[in-house]
A and B are shown apart, each in its own frame.
Chain A
Amino acid sequence: MKPAVDSFSDNARDALKDVKLQDALERLSHGFPEKRRKAIERLPEFDDLRDAARDLKNHVLEHLDFYLERFEEKVIEAGGTVHWARDAAEAQEIIVGLCRDHNAKTVTKSKSMIGEEIAINEHLEAAGITPVETDMGEYIIQLRNEPPSHLIAPAIHLSKDQVGDTFRDNHTHLSKARPLEEPRVLLDEARDILRERFINADVGITGANMLVAETGSLVIVTNEGNADLTMTLPKVHIAVASIEKIVPTLEDASTILRVLARSATGQDMSVYTSIVTGPKRDDDLDGPGAFHVVLLDSGRAAMLGRPMREMLRCIRCAACLNHCPVYKSIGGHAYGWVYSGPMGAALVPNLLGVHNARALPHASTLCGTCEDVCPVRIPIPKLLRLLRQRDFMTESAFSVNKRAMRLWARIAARPRLYRCLHKIFAGLFGKGAGRYTHLPFLRKWTVTRDFPAPAKKSFIDDISLRKCNKK
């Protein structure tokens, strides 16, 4: 999917009017946060685990080159292959090339944000290879040709009616008149269809939640079991992951696992956490004969320069989305690309360039909830503020913003002029109490908000008057 980050304001406006979307977001805002809270209540060590998770990710980022090399050594030792991709184009070329080498006609996929980021499905299709998404939500949006609207619940924006319509339009071999109202019926229909796909796929492509340097293992987490069918049944397993997914040891992976599911779905542990290392051994009865790992940089290495490095701790749990007042109002599609919510607003400008994602750092009230719930304690509001600053610096010297700021700076640097102008404005607008529901030139702003009326007297006037009275 091509990023369409520029149309954020229009997207957001449309999203607010979309009744079905608003219903879905209402469900989300009561679901995940409540489950997360309950899970954390059962684990008194949660905050200590967050500190440990933050510290271990910081350690990895500080020594990322070392751990990537160790990881590669261990994958090779286990009989697998590591491929390095500087950008999306290189990753696409590697993956399509591997599929061609193995004469693949169909490929099953388990949900991967990196897969979305590099738009691998489009490139497989262009090469005549059929990709089949197998995560239930991802399957639904693949049929609808939509990007995911949430990190862990990609079809969260849809109602069951919309899912039913989608299945009726696409599963044309089944009776048109069949009932499709119940989620259970929808799930069973998709389960049957995808079962065939799993069995017949030539290659399985997954992402990875973590890469373990100690053993060259991938850690892959799902609730559905789709990643395991994807990487057990076909004769080739290709995993694609970004370079910051490294953890040093299995102990470190365990620490991340303790905060991941609780922050994401509010489960203590996701149903399936699979640690896979290399291809099928000689005496194994099943498993893929070939094991490939594609490591993607695409802007991450450059983020290691402080302070944006902190964003690379992200483990994609989606807690920040689930608690964000902006995300909960407009959903994920408004953000215009594959990453949304606070983590998307902070990550995407780094991946695409600030000038290509100018609206995103502003898509936040800076309320700080995202930082409060983050399992690896990423200071997202601080990063958004820095991105706003960076965006401002790239503006032309003649932009309205910059001219206004320059004018204000000139006035603010001259106290007498400032107080004099202040008095005039306070005289015109000062009420001392109440609010303005209309303001000249700011009609758009006051349509949805009231402006608190300024005091009649400035602080300095007030304080000097009090001093006089005391005397």
Chain B
Amino acid sequence: MSTARSHILSTIRTALGRTALNDARQADLQAHLKNPKPRVIPARGQGSREALIERFIDEARRADASVERIGGFADIPENVAEYLGRSNRFGKDIKLKITPEEALKNVDWQDFGENHLDFGAASPDDDVSIAIAYAGVAETGTLAMVSGPNCPVSLHFLVETQIVVLVESAIIGPYEEVWGLLRKQNNKVLMPRAVNFITGPSRTADIEQTLLLGAHGPKNLHILVVRNG
């Protein structure tokens, strides 16, 4: 395979009419990679804290998510029960899988009953998931989910109803701020395995351009914006 590699690289250089870049030029480009600069940041991704929260909620709703503002983590079970009750699913034989995050484990889930509730990665027979967003991007109402032991990726895709907890202080303007936060946190510069940007529930328009929600991923996305995280 190394022959293919060197062949491709040399074809590129021949077509560009040069040899490999000299050390100085490489150092230049490397410096840019080490210190990335944002390009054009749209005005809609900027504003005061409260304006960004409002924008996030508006944009998420435009993308067919439902959004509710609540006071604290303690309010989550009641709100989830109420949300599921609206579509007549609370108390029915549904399975709820919650991300194994301490903040959610410490919440009182008594009303749900142990049979219906578990913490961990999603399995195919789970109906509803609850996870915590790393950030909310106001620009387009996009949730940023970051994978790790406390946030398995399958929770976002295997269930029919996805519930995401977003702490107000995690709402930011443009996508670029997510990269800034991740770089600050991972001094090893290694990205988490997956960063999932999620804007609304899954959909397809592949059959006669008819827009239908719930293609392979969730049919419903419910976002709980928490004031005091």
Contact = CB atoms under 8 A, between A and B. Distances in A.
A251 B8 contact: no
Given A271-B202, A274-B197, A278-B193, A153 B12 contact: no
B24 interface: no
Give the interface residue-count category, chain B.
35 or more
Contacts of B175: 254, 257
Interface in B45-102: 59, 62-63, 100
A137 B206 contact: yes
A251 B38 contact: yes
Contacts of A249: 32-33, 36
A69 B9 contact: yes
A194 B193 contact: no
27 contacts: A31-B209, A62-B16, A67-B29, A68-B12, A69-B9, A86-B4, A94-B1, A134-B216, A136-B204, A160-B207, A187-B204, A187-B215, A198-B216, A213-B33, A215-B189, A216-B191, A223-B205, A224-B202, A224-B204, A243-B8, A250-B179, A257-B175, A267-B199, A272-B198, A277-B193, A281-B148, A286-B122
B207 A163 contact: yes
Contacts of B203: 223-224, 271
Interface in B111-170: 120-122, 124, 140, 142, 147-149, 152-154, 156-158
Contacts of B43: 44-45
Contact of A304 (B15, B120, B148, B157): B15
Interface in A180-231: 183-184, 186-187, 191, 194-195, 198-199, 213-217, 223-226, 228-229
Nearest to B7: A86
Contacts of B191: 78, 215-217, 275, 277-278
Contact of B36 (A24, A225, A248): A248
Contacts of B32: 248-249
Interface in A240-297: 243, 248-252, 254-255, 257-258, 265, 267-281, 283-287, 295, 297
B227 interface: no
A305 B202 contact: no
A139 to B, nearest CB: 9
A372 B147 CA distance: 39
Contacts, number: 266
A64 interface: yes
B198 A287 contact: no
Interface residues of A, number: 102
A43 to B, nearest CB: 6
B190 to A, nearest CB: 6
B184 interface: no
A257 B137 CA distance: 13
B107 interface: no
Nearest to A305: B15
A183 B213 CA distance: 11
B183 to A, nearest CB: 9
Contacts of A272: 196-199, 202, 217
A90 interface: yes
A155 to B, nearest CB: 6
A186 B207 contact: yes
Contact of B21 (A24, A63, A78, A225): A63
Interface of B: 1, 4-5, 7-9, 11-13, 15-17, 20-21, 26, 29-30, 32-33, 36-40, 42-44, 59, 62-63, 100, 120-122, 124, 140, 142, 147-149, 152-154, 156-158, 174-176, 179, 189-210, 212, 214-218
A48 interface: yes
Given A78-B190, A229-B158, 13 more contacts: A49-B42, A70-B33, A78-B191, A183-B208, A191-B216, A195-B124, A199-B124, A271-B63, A274-B194, A274-B195, A284-B147, A285-B121, A287-B193
A83 interface: yes
Contacts of B63: 267-269, 271
A225 B157 contact: yes
A405 B118 CA distance: 78
Contact of A194 (B124, B199, B212, B216): B216
Interface in A129-176: 134-137, 140, 153-156, 158-160, 163
A112 interface: no
A223 B202 contact: yes
A376 interface: no
Among B32, B121, B193, the one with the most A-chain Cβ atoms within 10 Å of its Cβ is B193
Interface of A: 24, 27-28, 31, 42-45, 48-49, 52, 56, 62-70, 77-78, 83-86, 90, 94, 134-137, 140, 153-156, 158-160, 163, 183-184, 186-187, 191, 194-195, 198-199, 213-217, 223-226, 228-229, 232-233, 243, 248-252, 254-255, 257-258, 265, 267-281, 283-287, 295, 297, 301-305
A217 B179 CA distance: 13
Contact of B207 (A64, A77, A187, A273): A187
A140 B206 CA distance: 9
B193 A251 contact: no
B154 A286 contact: yes
B80 to A, nearest CB: 21
Contacts of A70: 30, 33
Nearest to A159: B208
B149 A285 contact: yes
A194 to B, nearest CB: 7
B212 A228 contact: no
B36 A214 contact: yes
A224 B216 contact: yes
A254 B206 contact: no
A269 B156 CA distance: 17
A452 to B, nearest CB: 38
A232 B153 contact: yes
B202 A287 contact: no
A136 B229 CA distance: 39
Nearest to B217: A225
